[in-house]
Chains A and B, each alone.
Chain A
Amino acid sequence: MLRRTLVAALPALLLATTACAEQSVGDPNAPAGSAVAYPSKTLQIMAPAGAGGGWDTTARTLQQALQGAGLLGGQSAEVRNVTGAAGTIGLAELVTSHKGDAHQLMVTGLVMVGGVVTNKSPVDLSQTTPIATLTAESEVIVVKSDSKYQTLKQLVDDIKADPTSVKWGGGSAGGTDQILVGLLAKAAGADASTVAKQYIAYSGGGETKAGLLSGDISVAVSGTSEFADLVKAGTVRALAVSSATGGDAGLGTPTPSIKESGYDLELMNWRGLVAPPGISDAEKAAVIAMVDKLHASAQWQQALTDKKWTDFYRTGGEATTFFADEHTRIKAVLTEIGLG
């Protein structure tokens, strides 16, 4: 055990020494990030979910863009999948097994914030070293085209009058979709706890679509891209998107946002990057400097366009505050709807 700790501590110690040495001789005006040669060995990017999902795609896109933009300094990057429990298994591994190892990065996101609360995970994002938020996708609220609801207001008026009148459907219990339903009921002053109990959890966007089309549920909540094609085809109608301002939900013209419809609420399904706890400030600065260059690279910008991800870039202190705020907000709503 002691030997393992020592072995693990050695590279960190060496890095720190190099960092100090370089800093002392380096140009004082140079950005802090250039102080540490990073990465100095193979970079491990963990996708805390199975292959093919959003986090996995983000991790693999990061890997490719880092390689493509030549930001790895001759080293390579590997993607590893650690599946389970809304990413909290991966989170626990990062915090406990990789403490102090700046070459272990993990993709994270809003779903993990919710998962920490619903799974009563002993570790949360505040125990990691936040690096950056990268991308975000807005949510969309849709009804079938023959539904009586033409606007979000009509729908919200109904749930205010009778919280059991609307059957909602979306992804897993306690996930982004149900969080949005809870937040919307709360923002509108409806009985959030009862409204959220009318929510049917499906195993994914596909099953949610089938549930809406068969008439099981009357309102579906999902990522905007999931329903874009059905909105375009006129099979379903988008009532609102969850971004700050209206956005394209498939029609080519902006669909109003929830905020624009009169309810003070904004929720983005964001994804970001964290490092393990216990890395030095110089290492943290070096990782952020690498991600900064990545964000500016043509490869990353191209990937954002290709995958229709909204750029949602915040780093360092700003990212730390954002993670903490989201945790507070999500925990509050999940507790209120009985999932916390």
Chain B
Amino acid sequence: MSSLSSLLDGFASVLSPQNLLYAAIGVTIGTLVGVLPGIGPALTIALLLPVSLQLDDPTGTLIMFAGIYYGAMYGGSTTSILLNTPGESASVATSIEGYRMAQRGRARAALATAAIGSFVAATISTVLLAFVAEPMASFAVTFRASDYFALAVLAMVTVTALVGASLPRGLMSLTFGLFLGLVGIDSLTGQARFTFGVPELLDGVDVVTVIVGLFAIGETLYIASRLKDLPAKVAPLEPAKGGFAWLSRQDWARSWPAWLRGTLFGFPFGALPSGGAEIPTFLSYTVEKRRSKHRDEWGNGAIEGVAGPEAANNASFSGVLVPLLTLGIPTSATAAVMLAAFGYFDLSPGPQLFEKSPDLVWALIASLFVGNVMLLALNLPLIRIWVKVLQIPRPLLYTGILVFATLGVYAVSGSVVDVLIAYAIGVLAMFMRRFDFPIAPVILGLILGPMMETQFRRALLLSDGALSVFVTRPLTVTLLSLAVVALALPHLPKVWARLRGGSGARRLSFAEDD
């Protein structure tokens, strides 16, 4: 009850014209930077920090930052859907079905389900943040290295749906991602791996560089290579139904359960100190695909494949705020920059924050609601403008994408080597597209590989090399058992049939979709 009244106080302080203006500015800037590949919310907020210090208004600044974050998340999904060029890893899952929808002329519906889904997820997860932040945080910090390893294994075996139609091709893509994840200084021993004497490779290959290379540059080169065979415009567009009818009745019916499930994945993963926004988006994609009654549409633009991952993506941000506000633990790049912002205003997030500056915390939480409403208000009308992007002639459009992609990579790292790496990956991605290799498993390998490796070795270091550490903790054992179940479950009926002498499947399939 006290949380509720504090929250209402928070709304009272946020709903001033000035703060609403900050929210509007934040959402607008965020949407714009989100649309540009490479430049994410973390960089934008870091660049705006000195400016916002001049404002000397902690509440206003934090409201603006929350707006930037949500805006950037949403802007990122816009380009993923329309052009297959996600700007950061959390939008990769969205791009798979979203882009197919756009190609079928359903760009409006895809953008709408992303926008409304983001809003629903962010609203629900902000409510969760307001009421279960502390118990959630105390549970999240009980996760040990062995638990994280088990979680990564579980995620790896359950997201096989991303591997696509051909298992060998999918595994080759995955292996390429795992290899990219190995490049750089080994975090535990400080030894350089696969750097070939290039100092720029010591920090590894940045995920943003890989994504820009794989998607923005790879897609551009691929399109350029077969420009003659393509229609002059990117995609046809279903005629607008006019007014507020972005989604048909069937779209709504298929979207809302996906939004809710996505939220349930996103929030807890965001709250884990080593969780992140990518894994829940991939999990959500897999679950939606498994549950879908419209199996034939997958790979061809299924709306659940956009609704679920987008909701997971947005819900994870409120999750990220859980350890940030209660323990001062930033779990994403953006959270780390927000932590710095707190520091400037002489506020240190942590156990004391709720007691010392409750006004600010509740104002921040209230501002998340305001930012969300603002985002929806800005973006639903903007859909009709965004889809016009698809009417730009291909050569012009993709030239623009290439320019912005190059600028984005250079702006983040300040290094030409990173631009060259992005282009090298882009050329490879062009051939991957040509020969039907799925792109998403590369990202999966790049994100899950290092997590599995580091946590596995940390756990062993902590146990002085005893492998028993993976079977003695109840949480680790539970997660690993779930992984085994997830692997075995699709095959059980066949195995059962064979045991009973029936004509079971001749070969074991690795995923139910291969």
A119 CB within 8 Å of chain B: yes
A50-83 toward B: CB 8 Å interface, digit per residue (1/0)?
A: 1110001100100110000000000000001111
Q: Which chain B residues lie closer than 8 Å to A80 at the CB level? A: 414
Chain B residues, Cβ within 8 Å of A57: 340
B46 within 8 A of partner (CB): yes
* A119→B336 CA distance, assembly (Å): 25
CA–CA, A235 to B274, complex, Å? 20
Q: In the complex, what residues of A have CB within 8 A of residue B335's CB? A: 206
Q: Check: B399 CB closer than 8 A to any chain A CB.
A: no
Name the B residues within 8 Å of A102 (CB-CB): none
Roughly how many angstroms separate A331 CA and B330 CA in the complex, as a whole number? 31
By a CB distance below 8 angstroms, the chain A residues around B189 are: 173
| A174 interface neighbour in B49, B190, B200, Cβ under 8 Å | B190
Which residues on the A side are within 8 Å of B412 (C-beta)? 50, 83
**Is B112 an interface position by the 8 A CB rule?**
no
Q: Which of A105-113, A147-155, A212-220 contacts B (4 or more CB under 8 A)?
A: A212-220
Q: Are A307 and B343 in contact (CB under 8 A)?
A: yes
Once the chains are docked, how many angstroms separate the CA of A335 from the CA of B349? 37
Which residue from B188, B190, B327, B462 sits with its C-beta under 8 Å from A118?
Answer: B190
Which single member of A81, A85, A167, A204 contacts B203 (CB below 8 Å)?
A85
Most interface-central of B49, B145, B185 (chain A CB within 10 A): B185
Judge whether B407 is part of the interface by a CB distance below 8 angstroms. Answer: no
Which residues of chain A come closer than 8 Å to B452, judged between CB atoms?
Answer: none
CB distance from B108 to the nearest CB of A (A): 35
B138 to chain A, nearest CB (A): 9
Question: CB-CB < 8 A to A211: which residues of B?
Answer: 145
Q: Decide if A84 is an interface residue (CB 8 Å cutoff).
A: yes
Q: Say whether B328 contacts A164, CB under 8 Å.
A: no
What are the residues of chain A within 8 A of B273 when measuring CB–CB? 206-207, 209-210
Interface string of B329-360 (1 = CB under 8 A from A): 11101011101100110101111110000000
Q: Is A188 located at the chain interface by the 8 A CB criterion?
A: no
Known contacts: A119-B192, A229-B328, A233-B350. The answer to whether A210 contacts B323 by CB under 8 A is yes
A64 contact set on B, CB distance < 8 A: 50
Does B478 count as interface, using CB distance less than 8 angstroms?
Answer: no
- A residues near B185, Cβ cutoff 8 Å: 85, 118-119, 172-173
A43 at the interface (CB under 8 A from B): no
Distance A63 CA – B49 CA, assembled complex (angstroms): 13
- Further contacts, 15 of them, CB under 8 A, given A206-B339, A210-B141, A230-B351: A52-B340, A60-B50, A88-B199, A173-B188, A173-B189, A173-B190, A206-B273, A206-B335, A207-B273, A207-B274, A210-B140, A214-B142, A229-B328, A229-B348, A307-B343
Query: Which A positions have Cβ atoms within 8 angstroms of B?
Result: 50-52, 56-57, 60, 63-64, 80-85, 88-89, 92, 118-119, 121, 164, 167, 172-174, 198, 200-201, 203-204, 206-207, 209-211, 213-217, 225-226, 228-230, 232-233, 235, 306-307, 339
Sample (30) of A-B pairs whose CB atoms are under 8 Å apart: A51-B42, A52-B46, A83-B203, A83-B413, A83-B414, A84-B200, A84-B203, A92-B199, A119-B199, A167-B462, A173-B185, A173-B186, A173-B189, A200-B188, A206-B323, A206-B336, A206-B339, A209-B273, A213-B141, A214-B141, A214-B144, A225-B343, A226-B328, A229-B348, A230-B327, A230-B351, A233-B350, A306-B344, A307-B343, A307-B344
